[in-house]
Structure 1
Amino acid sequence: MSDLVIFDLDGVLVDTQDAENGALAYLGGLMGLTIGEGAAAELFSGRKMQECIDLMADMAGCAPPDGAMSIVRARCEELIGPSLEPVDGVADALARIPAPKCVASNSPREIIERRLRGAGVLHHFGGGIYSAYDVGAWKPDPRLFLWAASECGADASGCVVIEDSPVGVDAALEAGMRVLQFTPDPSAGPHREGVPTFSSMRRLPELLRAPAPFTPVTARDGGIR
């Protein structure tokens, strides 16, 4: 069993990634861009929100509207609606994983806590909530994961990161951590070659008990050897 299991938030613990992508695509529409669901997932998933807004500004050749980030966050909350569900199987998996657990996300801390609370899984993490905004480093920068591990008293080599986005996977590999990529739709991509994937959260406890099947290396070196 791992020394520490580090979870991403959106798309791994709570089902909000589509809403966030849709909210960003909505902002793109205000800027004259048409961004479909597939393109939104490829462009935005796992990235810092400001980076996504800057990317759309480059694509549109114009500045974003005033208060762009507030527009996206408000639209995202509209798309999420009054209830928030955990990813299917997450509550059961968290209850069956005895190793220490934490969350490390590109989202602000208050959003992380609110979404975990709304999904009924906040109690599994105690005080182990780590936001990129607090450390000033956003995935794919590995410093968020390294900071979370340090705060939890774990060595990077003993950590397993649960991610769904390519930028999160790259951050984990750069940090020298084992990573498992959650892919609810195995036919969807992209996936980094050699990184184990799984499509059901109910399998996660057994995957964490299995010996590590690979040695993590940096993303620049090609992922896994």
Structure 2
Amino acid sequence: MSANPTLIFDCDGVLIDSEILVCRLVSEELTALGLPLSVDDVILRFAGRPEREMMAELERDYGGPLPESFLARTRARTAECYATELQAVANVGEILRRLRAPFCVASSSAPPKLRLGLAVTGLDVHFGENVISAASVARGKPAPDVFLYAAGWMRAAIPDCLVIEDSVPGVTAARAAGIRTFGFTGGRHCPPDLGARLQDAGAETVFADMRDLKRLLPSAFAEPLAA
């Protein structure tokens, strides 16, 4: 790897603490339709995966198409929830400000939801146009497509990239792309066993405080972080 790698951040659960919010809303809307899934079940099955793949799997469970109101209500409630509850992951803004390595975000979220989450938390200013959605590729995580696309977008060689991910599908996707991967377990949705599962999927190390990225990858930073 280059001494100054290109960092590819997942968004939900890595940059913004959104997984617990969205999975709660999905659980509530599914339960109202007579397809009860707990918040923990939604996290386990769908965190890190694109909406289109979640919908295909849910419709198999449901025995046919879900009512159109499901997506409409979930998206509307997500926008409302983002406006009132969404927060950036602790310390991530400080980390992004101090990075000297190039970086981008590569997410399973659809572009409007991805942009909204970054804007509400004020993190959008750090990324500019370097915001990549799995909507731009044929297959979502755990396929490698979105990370291969992100590396190409950043004009970075695969061996010079590093992915930061919080989900097993995301780590699996990054490793399938041949990219080194760190697992992150600092989101409120993360169960106690997530770190072990991320390492089993191929993450070379796991950390729960975004400030630890400076210790793990000191060459990527312009100056020491405040204690």
TM-score normalised by length of structure 2 = 0.85
Structure 1: 4+ residue segments shifted above 6 A: none
CA distance in 2, matches of 1:63, 1:162: 34
1:114-153 to 2 correspondences below 5 Å: 114-153=116-155
Partner Cα distance (1:28, 1:132) in 2: 24
Q: Where does residue 212 of structure 2 map in the other structure?
A: 203
Task: Give CA-to-partner distance per residue, 1:131-190, whole Å, 9 cap, x none.
Answer: 111233311121111111111110111100011011110110001001001012572323
Matched residue, 2:225: none
Structure 1 residue 83: deviation in Å? 4.9
Q: Structure 1 CA distance, aligned partners of 2:193 and 2:81? A: 22
RMSD: 2.0
Once residues 172 and 87 of structure 1 are traced to their aligned partners in structure 2, the CA distance between those partners, rounded to angstroms, is 21
Q: Residues 19-34 of structure 1 correspond to what in structure 2 (within 5 A)?
A: 19-34=21-36
Aligned to 1:175: 177
Partner of 1:15: 17
Structure 1 residue matching 2:217: 3-state secondary structure: helix
Matched residue SS, 1:180:
strand
**What is the TM-score with the length of structure 1 in the denominator?**
0.85
Moved more, 70-79 or 82-91: 70-79
How many percent of aligned residue pairs carry the same amino acid? 34
Say how many residue pairs are matched. Answer: 211
Q: Secondary structure at the match of 1:201?
A: coil
Partners of 1:143 and 1:109 lie apart in 2 by 16
Deviations 1:12-68 (A, max 9, x none): 001111122122212321331221222121011011112222222222334311243
Cα distance in 2 between the residues matched to 1:133 and 1:40: 21
Structure-1 separation of matches of 2:33 and 2:53 = 16
Query: Where do residues 1-225 of structure 1 align in structure 2 (5 Å cutoff)?
Result: 1-184=3-186, 185=190, 187-189=192-194, 190-193=197-200, 195=203, 196-209=205-218
For 1:214, the equivalent position in structure 2 comes to none
1:25–1:40 contact (8 Å) kept in structure 2: yes
8 A contact 1:169–1:179 mirrored in 2: yes
